Chains A and B, each alone.
Chain A
Amino acid sequence: MTMPKLPQWLKEVGWRTVAGALLLGGIIHILATMAVPIVSSGHAFARLQESLPLNQMVVLPPPAPGKQPLPFLPPDALYAMCRYDISVDLVLVTAPMAQAGWTLSLHTPQGDNFYVMPAQESRRGTVSLTLVPSAERLGEFATTPRRISAQETQVASPSWQGLVVLRAPLKGLAWRAETEAALRRASCTPVKRS
């Protein structure tokens, strides 16, 4: 069995060229991978930013062709979302967890889901939580007061801004009005730091 003959020009390529190219290629690979989250303008937070007023819960229209808020978003659910900013005030989130399958989730602008609460048979009703800056964030403003009522659940946000997403799976079209009404009870309210 004979080896295929290499083209003449390929024999001109030195091993130093190949080694250097592989090294530089590796560096470009790493830089490109790390740069995508920084330079990409199509991430979920950027796509939703225009349609979500700050610190207000918005019930989104049912997903439909051409009117999806995000790609690959499960269409058999209704959504309420809130774009929060806790750089000035804290934000109080209240959400009705009406049925098993409902989820309340918090996301950073980079898409990290740093908190999620599913509704369960044993845990229904309205949940309430206050978004506060994480210790790392407060370190940048060490004088910022952070005294909050002891009765409330506090969730530390790793970023000043982010998204609150309340997802309500739809059992069928007959449940749409009831589900939308429940979603409208969700709220996102700025709370003065005391």
Chain B
Amino acid sequence: MPSARGPERGRRSWPTRGCHLSLIANILVNVTVFVLLAVGGGLGSAWYMIEAGSRLSTRTAGPWTTWSAAGRSDADPYTRAHIVRDGLLPLASTLEITYQAKADSRGGRLHSGCEYTIVMDHFGATWWSLAAFDGQGGLIPNAAERFAFNSDNVMREPDGRAIIALARDARPGNWLPISGSRVNLVLTVQDPAWAAAVYEGGAKPLPAIQRLACR
């Protein structure tokens, strides 16, 4: 025989269970957000700072980016991690500076399906080298076995400029073959004064990467 207090007790238990469920859901939401924000945010931001860099560790001029402290013993932790992770062996910026470009001057990702032109006219007597790599830093196979041009072997215009064409198929003049999918360009400038100026935060003019056409 049910007691007179039974249904009353039952009615009281429903709101209590609801509170418990609500509390558990609240804890689950908070724990999930905490883990995602802490682990995802911490690791994600570290990966971005090491892989892409920021104004703390890189200098940018148009499409060109350089890790200005690369190779130095007083390099910041992001630069140090970037160098180690990518397996690089840079010369200290007391002698030369290395820029990398992954995009053209309009911001489009460098791709072998497109044709580009670069006019080298900013360097005077300074030794420079322009090389094309795939997305992982490997050389791009080509029948001409041509992977780079430098200030010693490039053909120049009568006014001293050097015009370099990046394309899948042969072009007259300084043709730098590209193929595969993504392309990275590396520009090395051997000039201590230039390197020191960039390390101190100064800007130097660098050649534009003009996209001519895409397939």
- A11–B111 alpha-carbon span in the complex (Å): 44
Taking CB atoms, residues of chain B closer than 8 Å to A113 are 71-72, 89-92
The answer to whether B87 touches A65 (Cβ under 8 A) is no
- A43–B45 alpha-carbon span in the complex (Å): 21
Taking CB atoms, residues of chain B closer than 8 Å to A18 are 33, 37
The answer to whether B84 touches A37 (Cβ under 8 A) is yes
The answer to whether B92 touches A13 (Cβ under 8 A) is no
The answer to whether B152 touches A169 (Cβ under 8 A) is yes
Taking CB atoms, residues of chain B closer than 8 Å to A76 are 129, 131, 147-150, 153
Count of B interface residues, CB-CB < 8 Å: 61
- A70–B153 alpha-carbon span in the complex (Å): 23
Nearest neighbor of B145 in chain A, beta-carbon distance? A64
**Looking at the complex, which one of A20, A36, A114 makes contact with B50 (CB distance below 8 Å)?**
A36
- A70–B86 alpha-carbon span in the complex (Å): 9
The answer to whether A101 touches B127 (Cβ under 8 A) is yes
Nearest neighbor of A39 in chain B, beta-carbon distance? B84
List the interface of chain B (C-beta within 8 A of A): 25-26, 29-30, 33-39, 41-43, 45-47, 49-50, 71-73, 75, 77-78, 80-81, 83-92, 94-95, 100, 127, 129, 131, 133, 136-141, 145, 147-150, 152-153, 184, 186, 188, 190
Q: Supply 23 A–B pairs (Cβ within 8 Å), ascending by A.
A: A24-B42, A25-B37, A25-B38, A25-B41, A27-B42, A33-B77, A33-B78, A36-B84, A43-B85, A44-B88, A66-B139, A70-B89, A71-B133, A71-B137, A74-B188, A76-B147, A101-B190, A103-B95, A111-B89, A112-B73, A116-B95, A169-B127, A169-B129
List the interface of chain A (C-beta within 8 A of B): 9, 12-14, 17-18, 20-22, 24-29, 32-34, 36-37, 40, 42-44, 47, 63-66, 68, 70-77, 100-101, 103, 105, 107-108, 110-114, 116, 118, 158, 163, 165, 169-172
